[in-house]
């Protein structure tokens, strides 16, 4: 009863009709009119039609079913605007919204449209059913291959939001994604990922190897500056396109420079920061910089690659999400020859251990 919006009393009083008069004209008792107005009695179809006829209005003017409350989601992208189309996934009890990337604008149907922005919270007009959001797996990471793998998972939807490795760990620690793809080199222990996960104090989780990949210096076709290694970054005529501080590639480069006793302040940077491996390649292709650190795969389009280090790229999965149906399907997909062959063909990837457990970590949230 409380769910029905009732305007009967307001409409009656606006027309100057008493309860007794309305009861007489509709054949109802005065007590029945009172009960309807107080929401204690919901009229059947015939009574509602009689009331609307006497009050010279539509039934909808007297009684309405309230519109469902607009869902509110946490925004995981950059700047959000009203009218933006988004994809949705529920992580625990939190509904999370991710932007539809420009390359996917015309090929991906949205789950909702943003109707209001309040900080990182979005009010939404839904376009799909909540059951889809509840079953969707949400992964954060910087590897461009993640989306290819996600699309190969059968019968389940896996979404990938582009974030750096450190930012992905932060989202995971805050319970805003189901898993984080990371490549973080620890120079002290000369190992990957585990120390960073322990430092993030994420609840008990498992690290699954996705693949190993080669990172190195990208240079223009023909290598016009004759760059052969890190020492060449000190040359005044060589400009570097760097990554943001939270990127695994930036952490690797800083570590390699420290190991070679090279002061980063002595390197000429182009003034711009790249926010992905692809942006590093684009900046060098366009002549904005002479060199940058990125994965070998993005050098395939006319650039040359000087290998420096092989990294392990892991997927960090908290214990509560390890049995998520889409997560189980994803890990099974990683072990198939078809997906492994596709990953190898990207260049510089070694997926031989894809889907294998590399570490199990116990921890607690901050």
Band of the pLDDT at 366, cuts 50, 70, 90?
Answer: very low
Same domain, 227 and 283: yes
**Mean predicted confidence (pLDDT) in 336-344:** 96
Q: Is the pLDDT of residue 360 over 80?
A: yes
Same domain, 78 and 220: no
HSE-CB at 216 with a 13 A cutoff on CA atoms is: 22
User: For residue 239, with 0-12 CB atoms within 10 Å meaning exposed, 13-18 middle and 19 or more buried, which class applies?
Assistant: buried
Contacts of 53 (CB under 8 A, 6+ apart): none
The number of residues making up the chain comes to: 366
Same domain, 185 and 81: no
Same domain, 125 and 153: no
- For the packed helices 30-37 and 19-26, what is the interaxial angle rounded to 10 degrees? 110
Q: Please report, for the domain that includes residue 231, its CATH number.
A: 3.40.190.290
Q: Please report, for the domain that includes residue 45, its CATH number.
A: 1.10.260.40
Taking the whole predicted model, whether its pTM rises above 0.95 is answered as no
Same domain, 152 and 192: yes
Domain boundary among 134, 155, 189: 134
- Mean pLDDT for the chain overall: 93
Per-residue confidence (pLDDT) for residue 145, from 0 to 100: 95
Domain boundary among 45, 64, 83: 64
Same domain, 74 and 158: no
Same domain, 167 and 302: yes
Query: Per residue in 144-187, pLDDT tens?
Result: 999 999 999 999 999 999 999 999 999 999 999 999 999 999 99
Q: Is the pLDDT of residue 140 over 80?
A: yes
Pick the closest to residue 197 from 25, 32, 359 (CA basis).
Answer: 359
Q: Is the pLDDT of residue 21 over 90?
A: yes
Query: Per residue in 87-115, pLDDT tens?
Result: 999 999 999 999 998 888 899 999 999 99
How many other CB atoms are there within 10 angstroms of residue 230's CB atom? 19
Same domain, 290 and 221: yes
Range of the domain at 201: 136-366
Instruction: Give the angle subtended at the CA of 244 by the CAs of 310 and 227, to the nearest 5°.
Output: 55
Cβ(112)–Cβ(86) below 8 Å: yes
Per-residue confidence (pLDDT) for residue 255, from 0 to 100: 96
Between 299 and 365, name the one with better pLDDT.
299
Give the C-alpha separation, 354 to 342, whole Å.
12
Same domain, 194 and 289: yes
Pick the closest to residue 318 from 189, 207, 164 (CA basis).
Answer: 207
Maximum C-alpha span of the chain: 99
Per-residue confidence (pLDDT) for residue 362, from 0 to 100: 86
Same domain, 205 and 330: yes
Per-residue confidence (pLDDT) for residue 364, from 0 to 100: 54
**Mean predicted confidence (pLDDT) in 219-230:** 97
Count of structural domains within the chain: 3
Same domain, 279 and 238: yes
Same domain, 110 and 170: no
Domain boundary among 115, 134, 153: 134
Between 3 and 16, name the one with better pLDDT.
16
- For residue 357, the 8-state DSSP code is E
Band of the pLDDT at 1, cuts 50, 70, 90?
Answer: very low
């Amino acid at each position: 009863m409380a769910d029905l919006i009732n305007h009967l009393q307001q409409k009656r009083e606006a027309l100057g009709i008493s309860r007794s008069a309305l009861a007489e004209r509709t054949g109802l008792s005065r007590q029945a009119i009172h009960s309807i107005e107080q929401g204690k009695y919901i009229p059947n179809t015939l009574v509602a039609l009689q009331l609307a006829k006497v009050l010279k209005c539509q039934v909808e003017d007297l009684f309405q079913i309230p519109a469902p409350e607009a869902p509110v989601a946490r925004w995981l992208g950059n700047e959000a605007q009203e009218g933006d189309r988004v994809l949705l996934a529920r992580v625990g009890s939190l509904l999370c919204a991710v932007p539809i990337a420009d390359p996917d604008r015309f090929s991906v149907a949205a789950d909702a449209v943003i109707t209001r922005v309040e900080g990182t919270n979005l009010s939404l007009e839904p376009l799909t059913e909540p059951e889809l959001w509840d079953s969707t797996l949400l992964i954060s990471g910087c590897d461009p291959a993640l989306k290819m793998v996600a699309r190969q998972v059968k019968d389940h939807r896996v979404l990938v939001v582009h974030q750096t490795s450190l930012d992905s760990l932060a989202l995971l620690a805050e319970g805003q994604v189901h898993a984080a793809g990371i490549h973080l080199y620890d120079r002290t222990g000369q190992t990957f990922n585990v120390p960073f996960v322990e430092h993030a104090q994420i609840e008990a989780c498992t690290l699954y190897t996705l693949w190993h990949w080669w990172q190195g210096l990208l240079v223009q076709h023909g290598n016009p500056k004759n760059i052969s290694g890190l020492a060449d970054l000190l040359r005044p005529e060589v400009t570097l396109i760097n990554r943001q501080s939270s990127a695994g590639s930036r952490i690797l480069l800083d570590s390699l420079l420290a190991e070679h006793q090279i002061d980063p302040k002595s390197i000429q940077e182009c003034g711009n920061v790249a926010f992905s491996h692809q942006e590093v390649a684009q900046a060098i292709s366009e002549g904005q910089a002479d060199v940058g650190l990125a994965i070998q795969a993005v050098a395939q389009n006319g650039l040359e690659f000087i290998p420096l280090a092989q990294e392990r790229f892991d997927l960090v999965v908290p214990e509560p999400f390890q049995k998520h149906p889409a997560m189980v399907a994803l890990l099974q997909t990683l072990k198939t020859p078809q997906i492994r062959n596709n990953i190898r063909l990207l260049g510089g990837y070694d997926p031989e251990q894809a889907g294998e457990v590399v570490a199990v970590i116990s921890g607690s949230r901050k």
